[in-house]
Structure 1
């Protein structure tokens, strides 16, 4: 109707179930992708034309498709130009959208060598990194430690169809990536992902389907996961916990509760790190399925480096966990020491007033009729004796302990020449610079040189005698 006001166009994440945005990687677009919005099977021809144009314009480029949602009719749209079985695509998207578990890269159907590979990968990064890139305010910190892992996670589902899936060019490998229609996901896909893949030096390199799976998995991992940032955040949290513990800024129960929360979060992070590590190791086994010439691809070296880095991060997390546990133990030790000091104070008070209290109870016996002034005569000396005892007794005990167990006399000092020098650990035939030990070879040479010197001196004496005799 002409009188009806035109509704403003809403963003993709505001459309809910009504529409889905599909982005196709392209060199011709300044944004590195072409985008269409589909809302039903009737949009399948538009999608097929866009894919055909992209394949014709860049026949050697892999076909990377990003989808920010799922509807049952989406399978009809994809099947218009991509030949594959879609029996598990809804399950894959359901895991991306709702599931709390992580899935290893695995084959999704029973098609033999041409089966698609799927994986659901929970990427992790510091929340501020994601939100700063989007231009939004970072999520507020929780008082109970690190922000929830929901702020760290960026879940992706990938459908690696490999070669022979595209109807327009059977040599073009096809990869479909599912994301959630959230602002952060939209920014990552539209501003970061396609440009990152294009800038990769191995993007155009022809590779087998197994290599395509590993390449896509590793590149998404490096784009969206940065364990170094996460560890830096944990180190910051550790510094805060140590400052609170050493400065006694919070009640001890609050500090202990925060430390336990940090340790629990570390265990959760280690589960994610182990998942990434196991996923990379599982994909490394695909190297045996590619031709011998393809096994020299730098991609496999990159995956080896990723596994080594993850193992190093795992060791770092273990060290941080130990330091947090040491802080917890320190809190308990300090609390026990405080209680011990309080008990010692109560013991001192009891030592002071217990004799006077006993004297008061003694004078309180009704059957004894002592004059009250006697209590004063007895209480003052007893009180003075109690004070003297409480002051002298700890000092006396300390002196007796030092006399019985002299610490200085039991201190062991390192004596000269009582430790093994490096030269003494070497074979006898090795000379040590600056050492006083002579090797067998060198000793033999010295002995030979000494004997030669003696012979030379003897000859000199004989010559002098003969000259003297001739003169005479």
Structure 2
């Protein structure tokens, strides 16, 4: 009976663990799917699906959208993953070249990113896929959607997970939509979090629709570049991150100069900041390489279409990322300098303390020696003699303690004199504004002279020839 009870308890625990694991892995059963619609006040139509039986509802929504705006690309946003999600999507989108559900699952659970690339090399009209972690200050994501950010621990620094906004994209220029083969299809996968929900529902679709190039016909290469760049400009802002790092650097400098916090705490905070900079640079480098890979697609676009402003936006993004990379390097160097300064100050403080103890020992060592001498029991000197002997010894000891270091410094100055060299700037060593050299400058031993002196040293014959040529020119002009 006891064994049966134990087996029942174990099986119950196993079922609960399975349920917990399944709940952790897939989240809630419902998935919200939003479809772009310019005629809707919110710029999208949304449905909530709970199983594969909702595929007809999703198909009707896509069909109505394609017929209402036949020129617009079909943009679909999905906020979660379930094993039956593929049955919902394939009812309207043909995925012969890649498994859409696999991409969504990687967005939800994988920790790696993927460069933009074609899902297959077998044909021209095949979808593009990528997974990108967009980066911004964590508080900005919450403030942008009128939400209060949580209280981040970790010594005031949020985890790198909070900086990221993960997005997966499945895009096919043509041939994917079952209702109209000429309609481009873009699927954007996000996580089922409050911030992602607010960003997608409040910011994503209005931002894409207000773009003047939203419904322009594009090749597959231009389409993936447009989608990648627009999501980047919407969700990533390294300027905010740089500003936050600069603010934290100023706070660290204040703590270091004012000694507000213990040295161990300060150095630990500085090391945390440096580690965070290394992590941020990894994501910045990935974004930079992704943009540079997409820039190469310009060679596949016809010459008459390479004037699209989209390519200028790509170039600007690459230049900005290179600049932010350099800025992060300089900030990291400044944090390391603060760490080194903390150690130098700590060593200097310990050295000063040791020096102070040495001075005290030097000052009272003779007096202590005399006290030990007078403390010998076999000596019966009067106690007043100790006072007569200790006072002069203490005075001599004080003079020696304070005069000896000064004497050593003076002796070192005489033995190893230090010559003070001050550099005096001379005008002749520099090029002045508006002229090679000023009129009053004459460089000794060189050919560089002022303009006035060069004019004064011009040969008289040359001046005469110049004067004759000028008079000849005037006479010819008078004859005309």
TM range (shorter): 0.7 to 0.9
Deviation at 1:434, TM superposition (A): 6.3
Q: Does 1:253 align with 2:264?
A: yes
Q: 1:47 aligns with which of 58, 73, 86?
A: 58
User: How much has 1:372 moved relative to structure 2?
Assistant: 5.3
Give 1:370 deviation, angstroms. 6.0
Alpha-carbon shift at residue 50 of structure 1 (Å): 1.5
TM-score, normalised via structure 1 length: 0.84
CA distance change for structure 1 residues 416 and 151 in 2, over 3 Å: closer, same or farther? closer
Q: 2:420 matched to which residue of 1?
A: 410
TM-aligned CA distance change 1:404 to 1:435, over 3 Å: farther
Contact map agreement 1:144 1:258 (CA 8 A) in 2: yes
Asked if residue 342 in structure 1 is aligned to residue 367 in structure 2, the reply is: no
Q: Secondary structure at the match of 2:82?
A: coil
Match of 2:151 in 1: 140
Matches within 5 A, 1:269-348: 269-348=280-359
Deviation of residue 86 (structure 1)? 6.9
Tell me which moved more, 358-367 or 125-134.
358-367
1:231 partnered with 2:247: no
Superposition CA RMSD, Å: 2.9
CA displacement at 1:266 relative to structure 2: 0.5
- Structure 2 gaps, min length 5: 1-25, 468-480
CA distance in 2, matches of 1:415, 1:208: 62
Question: 5 Å matches for 1:160-309?
Answer: 160-309=171-320
What is the distance in 1 between the residues matched to 2:156 and 2:332? 14
Superposed CA deviations along residues 112-155 of structure 1, whole A, max 9, x for unmatched, are 32222111111111122111122221222435142112222111
Assess, with a 3 A threshold, how the Cα gap between structure 1 residues 451 and 27 changes in structure 2: closer, same or farther: closer
Bigger CA radius of gyration: 1
Q: How far does the alpha carbon of each residue in 1:411-442 deviate from its partner, in whole angstroms, 9 at most, with x for none?
A: 233264663556369xx9xx999644406xx7
Query: In the alignment, what sits opposite 1:458?
Result: none
- 1:73 and 1:47 map into 2 onto residues whose CA distance is 13
Aligned-pair CA distance for 1:304: 0.8
Of the candidates 395, 398, 411, which is equivalent to residue 384 of structure 1?
395
Moved more, 177-186 or 102-111: 102-111
1:71 maps to which residue?
82
Residue 181 of structure 2: SS of its match in structure 1? coil
Instruction: Write the distance in 2 (CA, Å) between the matches of 1:370 and 1:78.
Output: 109
Report the 3-state secondary structure (helix = DSSP H, G, I; strand = E; otherwise coil) of the residue aligned with 1:48: helix
Q: Distance in 2 between matches of 1:398 and 1:446?
A: 66
Query: Does the CA contact (< 8 Å) of 1:69 and 1:178 recur in 2?
Result: yes
3-state SS in 1 of match to 2:454: coil
TM-fit CA distance, 1:397: 3.0
The one-character-per-residue Cα deviations of 1:203-223 (angstroms, maximum 9, x if unpaired) are 121110111111111111110
**What is the distance in 1 between the residues matched to 2:27 and 2:430?**
76
Q: Structure 2 residue aligned with 1:108, among 92, 101, 119?
A: 119
TM-score using structure 2 length: 0.83
What is the aligned residue count?
A: 433
Pairing partner for 2:454 from 422, 432, 438: 438
Structure 1 unmatched ranges of 5 or more: 1-14, 454-472
Question: Would the alpha carbon gap of residues 417 and 18 (structure 1) be closer, same or farther in structure 2, given more than 3 Å must change?
Answer: closer
Structure-to-structure mapping, 1:444-455, within 5 angstroms: 444=458, 446-449=460-463
CA shift, 1:364, in A, is 5.0
